[in-house]
Chain A
């Protein structure tokens, strides 16, 4: 029964799906897989230790944290807020366009701020709501939709651009995993091949935002008639 080796895959899927402790789930999955494949315990410890040491490059991003900490203490967030505050007299869709662009650029330079907490709730959501209410009176459903779209814009930027930074955890994980699987992959190469996705996201979301604006403009006209 060679399929018993897949027990670790099952452990990972169930462990993450049921939100168990992630560090423990990963290690249990490794142990279960090795034992099910006939690897004895001491050999497993050696494979685990060697594997972890060989993948230390994935954690190189920790080296960037002290710098981020220093500039954060000196007003990184406040400067970004001031920058975004300059966006006046725009439609909600335009605010989302520009925020997405800023978010993607921040990714390029490895600036990862907790966007939902630091920017979406206190800044982008109220700005977009104010902009939308110029066109029409907002129903509770509209407000909910603006909140959701504000949060979505942050996620689009974060996910489709985070691979643009060469020292991000994701890029290093990919390069290291590929190396373990026997294929040499350069982190810079991953960044290069991540550019199309980041650009396509900008374009696609740009049109998506025009649709969003049109809904409010139409409503505004209907109210004025």
Chain B
């Protein structure tokens, strides 16, 4: 069974590789993009890693990642020009399909959960199966042609861009941190100030650190990789706290930080510009009265649910 699941997963990763390859082809072809070769290469390398990574030497995959980092550092990765959706067609389709347009999304969410809960295949295969099934339903529902789906795929992958691969890179950073003993050093440093073993103190320390580091970095995903290894594991999980509760509530504690920082520009500064607001911190001021009580509530929730 484990073998079968692994084979299915390898197949799913190859499919992601195909999606990246489609983005690569269209990036190479985008003559308006001053960095089209770099961007095309960026997606090609990811396509290779996802489709063939299984069979490549691990050090080679690591080296390819460094090439990707270099491309990105030298500003050779740019979104370029992406053809926008035709609003007229979209409006016409919306009138015709009405509520049915939401059906594929509903099938996606429900299938993923059902496969995860009621089959031995598990959550990851569930996501893959749900994605494929919902795509088939969407194609049938909208009578889309192969060319349309190709176009939709390249548009979505390219517009998500390098932000889409960031979560996986951050998770990888977590692996390097663990291999280098970063978690142990942080835990050691903090435990000289705060005692381990007090459950409530540990939970509060972790949640507040998640929020604070997110405020500084503007990104809860980045904070999660660092703070969970350094504080979440030694101060909460190693004390008997449930890992799943710690993960779920730790991340949302980080989001409380996101709501209070101008560093999260996409969420707190972009609307200021979009709506020509006078107060640059206006959005944050409206969010803080919810974010602060939510952080306290989550500390209590984690304390109650994790132990």
Report the bound CA distance from A8 to B274 in whole Å.
35
Given contacts A8-B176, A17-B217, A60-B128, contact A170 B167 (CB under 8 A): yes
**A132 on interface, CB distance cutoff 8 Å:** no
**What 7 pairs across the A-B complex have the smallest Cβ distances?**
A75-B94, A69-B152, A49-B61, A51-B175, A45-B62, A151-B271, A49-B62
Main secondary structure of the interface of A (DSSP, over half): helix
Given the complex, which residues of A lie within 8 Å of B153, measured CB to CB?
65-66, 69
A194 x B248 contact (CB < 8 A) = yes
**B4 on interface, CB distance cutoff 8 Å:** no
A108 x B109 contact (CB < 8 A) = yes
**A167 on interface, CB distance cutoff 8 Å:** yes
Q: What are 27 sample pairs from A and B whose C-beta atoms fall under 8 A apart?
A: A9-B186, A16-B222, A16-B263, A24-B69, A24-B70, A26-B169, A30-B173, A33-B176, A34-B180, A37-B179, A44-B176, A49-B61, A67-B104, A71-B142, A72-B156, A74-B97, A75-B94, A145-B286, A165-B109, A173-B167, A174-B224, A174-B251, A180-B171, A187-B124, A187-B127, A189-B244, A197-B249
Within the complex, which residue of A16, A36, A204 is in contact with B217, where a contact is CB–CB below 8 Å? A16
Given the complex, which residues of A lie within 8 Å of B57, measured CB to CB?
46, 49
Q: Which residues 177-207 of A sit at the B interface, judged by CB distance below 8 A? A: 177-178, 180-181, 183-191, 193-194, 196-197, 200-201, 204-205
Residue of chain A at shortest CB distance from B15? A63
Given the complex, which residues of B lie within 8 Å of A154, measured CB to CB?
271
Report the bound CA distance from A221 to B124 in whole Å.
57
**A220 on interface, CB distance cutoff 8 Å:** no
**A163 on interface, CB distance cutoff 8 Å:** yes
**B126 on interface, CB distance cutoff 8 Å:** yes
Report the bound CA distance from A21 to B255 in whole Å.
22
Given contacts A48-B65, A166-B109, A181-B183, contact A159 B255 (CB under 8 A): yes
Given the complex, which residues of A lie within 8 Å of B293, measured CB to CB?
204
B112 x A167 contact (CB < 8 A) = yes
**B239 on interface, CB distance cutoff 8 Å:** no
Given the complex, which residues of A lie within 8 Å of B169, measured CB to CB?
23, 26-27, 52
B180 x A39 contact (CB < 8 A) = yes
Within the complex, which residue of B85, B108, B130, B165 is in contact with A73, where a contact is CB–CB below 8 Å? B85
Q: Which residues 1-15 of A sit at the B interface, judged by CB distance below 8 A? A: 2-3, 5-6, 8-9, 12-13
**A218 on interface, CB distance cutoff 8 Å:** no
**A95 on interface, CB distance cutoff 8 Å:** no
In the complex, number of A-B residue pairs with CB atoms less than 8 Å apart: 471
Given the complex, which residues of B lie within 8 Å of A134, measured CB to CB?
none
**B106 on interface, CB distance cutoff 8 Å:** yes
Report the bound CA distance from A221 to B157 in whole Å.
52
Size of the A side of the interface (Cβ < 8 Å), in residues, is 120
B259 x A117 contact (CB < 8 A) = no
Report the bound CA distance from A111 to B259 in whole Å.
21
**B245 on interface, CB distance cutoff 8 Å:** yes
Given the complex, which residues of A lie within 8 Å of B106, measured CB to CB?
109
Given the complex, which residues of B lie within 8 Å of A147, measured CB to CB?
271, 275, 277, 282
- A sample of 15 more A-B contacts (CB under 8 A), given A62-B16, A172-B167, A177-B228, is A8-B180, A16-B216, A17-B218, A23-B69, A27-B66, A70-B149, A76-B101, A109-B102, A111-B105, A125-B275, A152-B286, A163-B248, A178-B243, A188-B123, A197-B249
Report the bound CA distance from A69 to B23 in whole Å.
13
B176 x A51 contact (CB < 8 A) = yes
Q: Which residues 138-186 of A sit at the B interface, judged by CB distance below 8 A? A: 140, 144-145, 147-152, 154-156, 158-160, 163, 165-167, 169-170, 172-178, 180-181, 183-186
Given the complex, which residues of B lie within 8 Å of A223, measured CB to CB?
none
Residue of chain B at shortest CB distance from A2? B185
Given the complex, which residues of B lie within 8 Å of A28, measured CB to CB?
69
| Stretch from B25-33, B46-54, B197-205 at the A interface | B46-54
Residue of chain B at shortest CB distance from A107? B109
Chain A residues engaging chain B, CB cutoff 8 angstroms:
2-3, 5-6, 8-9, 12-13, 16-17, 21-24, 26-31, 33-34, 36-37, 39, 42, 44-79, 82, 108-111, 116-117, 120-121, 125, 140, 144-145, 147-152, 154-156, 158-160, 163, 165-167, 169-170, 172-178, 180-181, 183-191, 193-194, 196-197, 200-201, 204-205, 208
Given contacts A59-B165, A65-B156, contact A205 B248 (CB under 8 A): no
A79 x B176 contact (CB < 8 A) = no
Binary per-residue interface labels of chain B (243-262) against chain A in the complex, 1 for a CB within 8 Å, 0 otherwise: 11101111110010011000
A166 x B259 contact (CB < 8 A) = no
Q: Which of A17, A117, A155 has the most CB of B within 10 A?
A: A155
B110 CB, min distance to chain A CBs, angstroms: 9
Q: Which residues 255-307 of B sit at the A interface, judged by CB distance below 8 A? A: 255, 258-259, 263, 266-268, 270-272, 274-275, 277-279, 282-283, 285-287, 289-290, 293-294, 297-298, 301, 305
Residue of chain A at shortest CB distance from B229? A181
**B139 on interface, CB distance cutoff 8 Å:** yes
